[in-house]
Structure 1
Amino acid sequence: MSAQGTPKAAGSTTAKATPKETPKGAWTVTFLLFLFMVVNFADKIVVGLAGVPIMTDLKLEPEQFGLLGSSFFFLFSISAIVVGFIVNKVATRWVLLTLAVIWALAQFPMVGAVSFTTLLICRIVLGAGEGPAFSVAVHAIYKWFPDEKRALPTAILTQGSAFGVILAVPALNWVIVNHSWHYAFGALGVVGLIWVAAWLALGKEGPLEDTQALAVSEPKIPYLQLLTSRTFIGCVAATFGAYWALSLGLTWFTPFIVKGLGFSQTDAGFVSILPWVFGATIVILTGWISQVMMARGVTTRIARGVLGSVPLVLGGLILAMMSHVQGAGLQIAALVVGSGLCGAIYVVCPPMLGEFTPASQRGAVIAIYGALYTLAGIIAPVVMGSVIQRAGSTIDGYMTGFTINAVVMIGSGVLGLLLLWPNTEKARLTRGTAAQAGALKGVVSPT
């Protein structure tokens, strides 16, 4: 039996086929992958953090800067899908190493004088390297933890995004203010190479699953059924709304603080941390609450599906109030809380997909899920840039853009509430596969 096991019904006492004990070394690998995501999000945030100096130096219009923010995602989804199928066959240890090397090398061209075209190309290459990052890291961690223990390590992994911003923003902003935005990119390249060295020394493959062996022995579910299941569609829809907010935070939050609200670049660096601090709290709480609920026999429909979707709706409603409150403090508070609540969905969706996806197919399914929801990263920054450039004033443009974000979040949260039923998904998919097999057998049978 694969490590994700069979979804546990409420009150069920049936023993799982997966090991109950967490293998030695699991938390070391979890910490390394947490750092992997720290580097990943530090790489993402640097363009937004240096947005105003970049626009000034390269004489960019808002639409051009929006294009730069979106360019990171041009190959993001394609790369995620391709690598997702690769990790079904290749050890995640070496895939993660390769991705981190690409990240580091993509940063160094920005150290010297750079044109908009060069910056654009380097961001596209970086996006191709970072597209598979989260899904491969999740797949790697799930080789160390059985299903009932995956919520907390998933939350810790997700926390890497918040800490990547919390730790990187003050350091990178200091470099930008006191030296140049060019050197901020170079610093990230060096940090990436340091992680590569640490992973070479300490990174290992998890012992709970051998996906190559499982690919031969484990029953499979057709990818079409997995990818059209209501829980998969619900995860994509719900996380799409969350990622819309995240991609705006990565690209437009600091420019909004500087150009929209009039803060200095130095002060904006500190303010830019706030959504990630709040989001980090939401992520940890969600992982802990989900795991406690499941330990008490609550179905994953509630402990994962509802728990992840409700904050999206609440966050969208709070964000929608942003244009109706007066004062920079209240507007920042609405933006911080509204966008920060999105973090809950990232914790619960990968474990939900892992509930019903065979381990030998899980890497590809989680990667395709990531590839689809991150399409929001292509759309959201460009939409915001276009709205700002066409608005009567800069602040009006930002407020309209954040209102659009609120509508997307509310809609995605509602879809999550309607579609996320992981506790019944595996049984339904298994029945469907068995029925198809039986029908096929009946066709070829001489009787």
Structure 2
Amino acid sequence: MSDQGTPNAAGRTAGESRVSAKPTPKGAWTITFLLFLFMVVNFADKIVVGLAGVPIMTDLKLSPEQFGLLGSSFFFLFSIAAIVVGFIVNKVPTRWVLLALAVIWALAQFPMVGTVSFTTLLICRIVLGAGEGPAFSVAAHAIYKWFPDEKRTLPTAILSQGSAFGVILAVPALNWIIVNHSWHYAFGALGIVGLLWVCAWLALGREGPLEDTQVLAETEQKIPYLQLLTSRTFIGCVAATFGAYWALSLGLTWFTPFIVKGLGFSQSQAGWISILPWVFGATIVILTGWISQVMMARGYNTRVARGVLGSVPLAIGGLILAMMPHVQGAGLQIALLVVGSGLCGAIYVVCPPMLGEFTPTSQRGAILAIYGALYTLAGIIAPAVMGATIQRAGSTLDGYMTGFTINAVIMVGSGLLGLLLLWPNTEKARLRRGVAAQAAALKGAVSPT
């Protein structure tokens, strides 16, 4: 199946085993750390509604369906904003785009500090979602200007870990504010943290020196967007990450309410339990990034070192999650939920670098953004489906279990689609041949006879 030489039994090719590493520019890891913090703030903003779910539902007298709508509302403009900004960063420096996004996040939090209606909360979450929609794709595009292709998996893993650490660091602090003061002040604290990141980025943020997107836009040979978007690896990345994001969006919105209302823990206990999936997920993501780069350094092709490595844990996680309704005891159910949903994090590490393999640099921002816009549609659907399922179930716990079973089926299916479709190394060769053939045909058409 490979177009880059004949692979051996270990998934290596002769060409790929002789990749020469390019140097990493000075300051690359400083930027990586700042963008890691960017994603920490991003996911702290996301988790606060789920963490404060029970107090919000109690104060605003919301039904499960209404709370599910609140969770979904964050994603109403998420995808649209991601696509629009993705095309913008093809031409505009990422430094200023990232700054603008962080300012929007901070300002969207402050209206919740005072008395707030359900409508106001809904609108603020929609605005916040519009600001956060492009976050990961723009941050990944920015990091790739600092690292050559063969060194991108580990920085991508670190960037992805902003999500886990955003929850791990934010949950105890925010839950303390919620329990001892009010859920309103938790939103205000996040607004202040967002403004602190803005100040740090203004002082230290820079554009990567390896790629000048504006120059490349004028000189680089492009591939038609239709070919990029219909490539099997692009479709496979969207399908696989859709299943992972279904689990993630349920974790953001419904995990803490499940612990409190489904299993009977207190809000204080639930705050600490809510950290567990993210701690486990962080371990999986860092291991995936490290293993992937080690495999590539040893000559494995990216079909194996990225595609297979990301898809298999996703399918296994779904199978583990499917066991939840069939076991007894809150501890065991939590353990299955933590491990099952945590394993899906591997796919976030490998898909952006796979897309970056075959996408021209001047088009990469848009492709990463469209990819993000499509898979995060799961964020609109999953919380609403869970809310409707709980409301129509015979008991609250039965509703949760049915919702997690739906999640399990989607994870297994998306993992299998990833295994079937993710072939970035052959995609790169095929698309390059197509561009070369088109260039040759055009040259022949204009040559004098």
TM score, norm. by length of structure 1: 0.96
The alignment yields a C-alpha RMSD, in angstroms, of: 1.6
The whole-number CA distance in structure 1 between the counterparts of 2:230 and 2:137 is 19
> How far off its partner does 1:40 sit?
0.1
1:292 aligns with 2:294: yes
The residue aligned with 1:12 is: 15
The residue identity in structure 2 corresponding to 1:323 is: P
Q: CA deviation at 1:216?
A: 1.2
Q: How does 1:326-345 map to 2 (within 5 A)?
A: 326-345=328-347
Q: Contact 1:11/1:298 (CA < 8 Å) preserved in 2?
A: no
SS of the equivalent of 1:122 reads helix
Match of 1:359 among 354, 357, 361: 361
How many angstroms apart in 1 are the aligned matches of 2:101 and 2:19? 34
Distance in structure 1 (CA, Å) of the matches to 2:86 and 2:397? 41
In structure 2, C-alpha distance between the alignment counterparts of 1:442 and 1:207, rounded to whole Å: 36
Asked whether the 8 Å contact 1:85–1:364 carries over to 2, the reply is yes
**Offset at 1:217?**
1.2
Equivalent residue, structure 1, for 2:317: 315
Q: Give the superposition deviation at 1:430.
A: 1.6
Give the CA deviation at 1:22: 0.8
- Which amino acid in 2 is paired with 1:170? P
- Which runs of 5 or more residues in structure 2 are unaligned? none
Match of 1:99 in 2: 101
Amino acid at match of 2:426: T
1:270 equivalent in structure 2 = 272
Tell me, in whole angstroms, the C-alpha distance in 1 between the residues paired with 2:352 and 2:188: 33
Q: Deviations over 1:157-188 (max 9, x none)?
A: 00000000000000000000000000000000
Distance 1:321 1:11 in 2: 43
SS in 1 for 2:250: helix
C-alpha displacement of 1:441: 5.7
For structure 1, list consecutive stretches of 5 or more residues without a partner in the other structure: 1-5
- What is the DSSP-based 3-state SS (H/G/I as helix, E as strand, rest coil) of the residue aligned with 2:47? helix
Q: Assess, with a 3 A threshold, how the Cα gap between structure 1 residues 435 and 11 changes in structure 2: closer, same or farther.
A: closer
Report the CA distance shift for 1:149/1:91 in structure 2 as closer, same or farther (over 3 A): same
**Which residue matches 1:3?**
none
1:419 aligned partner? 421
Quote the offset at 1:12 in angstroms: 2.2
Q: Aligned partner of 2:346: which letter?
A: A
Shift of 1:425: 0.8
Match of 1:244 in 2: 246
TM-score (norm 2): 0.96
How far residue 438 of structure 1 moved from its aligned partner, in angstroms, is: 4.4
The CA deviation at 1:59 is 0.3
Aligned positions of 1:112-127 closer than 5 A: 112-127=114-129
Q: Contact 2:17/2:300 (CA < 8 Å) preserved in 1? A: no
Instruction: Tell me what 1:369 maps to.
Output: 371
Offset, 1:41: 0.1
Residues 146-165 of structure 1: pairs in structure 2 closer than 5 A: 146-165=148-167
| Amino acid of the structure 2 residue aligned with 1:12 | G
- Asked if 1:192 is matched to 2:194, the reply is yes
Alignment length, in residue pairs?
441
Q: Secondary structure at the match of 2:222?
A: coil
After TM superposition, give the deviation of residue 435 of structure 1 in Å.
3.1
**Matched residue of 2:390: which SS?**
helix
* 8 Å Cα contact 1:305-1:420 kept in structure 2: yes
Contact kept, 8 Å, 1:305 with 1:416, in 2: the verdict is yes
- Per-residue CA deviations over 1:251-294 (Å, capped at 9, x if unaligned) read 00000000000000000000000000000000000000000000
| CA distance, structure 1, for counterparts of residue 438 and residue 413 of structure 2 | 34
What does the per-residue CA deviation read over 1:116-157, in whole Å, with 9 as the maximum and x for residues that have no partner?
000000000000000000000000000000001001100000
Change (3 A) 1:15 1:329: closer
Q: Distance in 2 between matches of 1:11 and 1:160?
A: 36
- Identity over aligned pairs, percent: 87
Amino acid at match of 1:251: T
Q: 2:404 aligns with which of 389, 402, 422?
A: 402
Distance 2:220 2:441 in 1: 21
Say if 2:16 and 2:301, in contact at 8 Å, map to a contact too.
no
What SS is found at the alignment partner of 1:198? Answer: helix
Rate the CA distance shift 1:167–1:102 in 2: closer, same or farther, 3 A.
Answer: same
Aligned residue type for 2:69: L
Aligned to 1:227: 229
Q: Which residue does the alignment assign to 1:170?
A: 172
Matches of 1:219 and 1:88 in 2, distance apart?
Answer: 14
* Distance apart, 1:37 and its partner CA: 0.2
Equivalent position of 2:74 in the other structure? 72
> Once the 2 structures are TM-superposed, how far is the Cα of residue 442 of structure 1 from its aligned partner?
6.0
Instruction: Tell me if the contact between 2:87 and 2:365 (Cα under 8 Å) persists in the aligned partners.
Output: yes
* Aligned counterpart for 1:346 among listed residues 345, 348, 369: 348
Q: Tell me the amino acid that sits aligned with residue 241 of structure 1.
A: G
Q: Specify the alignment match of 1:203 in structure 2.
A: 205
